[in-house]
Amino acid sequence: MTVDAPPVRPQTRGARLARRAFLVRELGIALALGLLVAVTFAVNPRFLSAQNIKDLLLGSTILAILAVGQAIVVITRNVDLSVGSILGLSAFATGALFVAAPGTPIAVMLLAGVALGAVLGAVNGGLIATAKVPALVVTLGTLYVFRGLDYMWATGRQINAADMPPGFLRMGTDTVLGMPVLALFAAAVLIAVGYYLRHYRGGRELYAIGSDPAAARLSGIPAGRRVFAAFVASGALAGLAGVLHAARFGTIDANAGLGSELNVVAAVVVGGVAIFGGSGSVYGAALGAVLLTTIRAALPVLGISPFWQGAAVGALILAAIGLDRALSARVARSLRERNVTHV
């Protein structure tokens, strides 16, 4: 087995320009988040109480992990709609394994959830990369297939907190130096994936595939293998999110994660990962997850009806897509002007 070596070629002028443009986009998300928090705090200072901050971090953790995996896929100009079903299946498998083998170590449970998610992600990646079936069609189908398997396995059962070890459940609420343990999981995933995408050849090739799949293949990039790996990674992170979901909520049934795939895609798009592929970062996707979670928590405090939450998220998605197109057009225009200047 070979390990990707870090790229040795410096970034091109176009890559540097694109990176600066989308860095501005991520800073804009952070500013919007800060403004929302400031306004909500002004209305109700208890919004930034220690307990509320902990709840916000816990609420965004699982969504952020799913968004990181989804961002890897979207960067390649694909989408994974099955992540919610993978989370649900992994969460129920966690509870079922604890019922069958109560003494299972937590580390083994985490690895089992990641492995199950990776297998399900490999099903998606194999159909897409090998059979050349569009990702939207494949993952829409597996969304229902995986959820159906979950319902068949559960057969109406519910696994309660009493069926799982106290140490595992504490992982869902404990803190380390004031930081929730689950948030530390999300931070570790974010740093590892972000570093790989930024500094390793395999990560840079994902961006090349998303920017222009045909050109990537002509340049010798193993596009099929990279896309397959992206879906495996997305599935593995969804599997990890399923285990953490079980630790946080304790009570699990076949509806765990139902409908969360749309929130995940929204977090990724709002976070600056272009739905057209080839640009954005997992850091922006995680910021998008935190922003959406904060919006849900802030609307009731601001006296805004929860029915407007969907409208607000939809407006953010439309604005994000429009901004992506505007930034892409600006980058392309700047490159053309520089090329004319240097001719």
CATH of domain 30-332: 1.10.3470
pLDDT at 327 (0 to 100): 64
Three-state SS letters, the chain: CCCCCCCCCCCCHHHHHHHHHHHHHHHHHHHHHHHHHHHHHHHCHHHHCHHHHHHHHHHHHHHHHHHHHHHHHHHCCCCCCCHHHHHHHHHHHHHHHHHHCCCCCHHHHHHHHHHHHHHHHHHHHHHHHCCCCCHHHHHHHHHHHHHHHHHHHHCCCCECHHHCCHHHHHHCCCEECCEEHHHHHHHHHHHHHHHHHHHCHHHHHHHHHHHCHHHHHHCCCCHHHHHHHHHHHHHHHHHHHHHHHHHHHCCECCCCCCCHHHHHHHHHHHCCCCCCCCCCCHHHHHHHHHHHHHHHHHHHHCCCCCHHHHHHHHHHHHHHHHHHHHHHHHHHHHHHHHHHHHC
The tens place of each residue's pLDDT in the chain, 343 residues long, gives: 444 555 444 445 545 555 555 566 777 788 888 888 998 999 988 888 888 889 899 989 999 999 999 999 999 999 999 999 999 999 999 999 999 888 889 999 999 999 999 999 999 999 998 888 899 999 999 999 999 999 999 888 889 888 899 989 999 889 888 899 999 999 999 999 999 998 999 999 999 999 888 888 888 899 899 999 999 999 999 999 999 999 999 889 889 888 899 899 999 988 888 888 888 889 999 999 999 999 888 888 888 877 777 777 777 777 777 766 666 666 556 645 555 555 5
pLDDT at 329 (0 to 100): 63
pLDDT at 302 (0 to 100): 83
**Which residues pair with residue 239 across a beta bridge?**
none
pLDDT at 217 (0 to 100): 87
pLDDT at 145 (0 to 100): 96
pLDDT at 11 (0 to 100): 46
Q: What's the rounded Cα separation, in Å, for the pair 69 and 267?
A: 11
pLDDT at 1 (0 to 100): 44
pLDDT at 314 (0 to 100): 77
pLDDT at 148 (0 to 100): 94
Q: What's the rounded Cα separation, in Å, for the pair 216 and 213?
A: 5
Domain residue spans of the chain: 30-332
pLDDT at 50 (0 to 100): 87
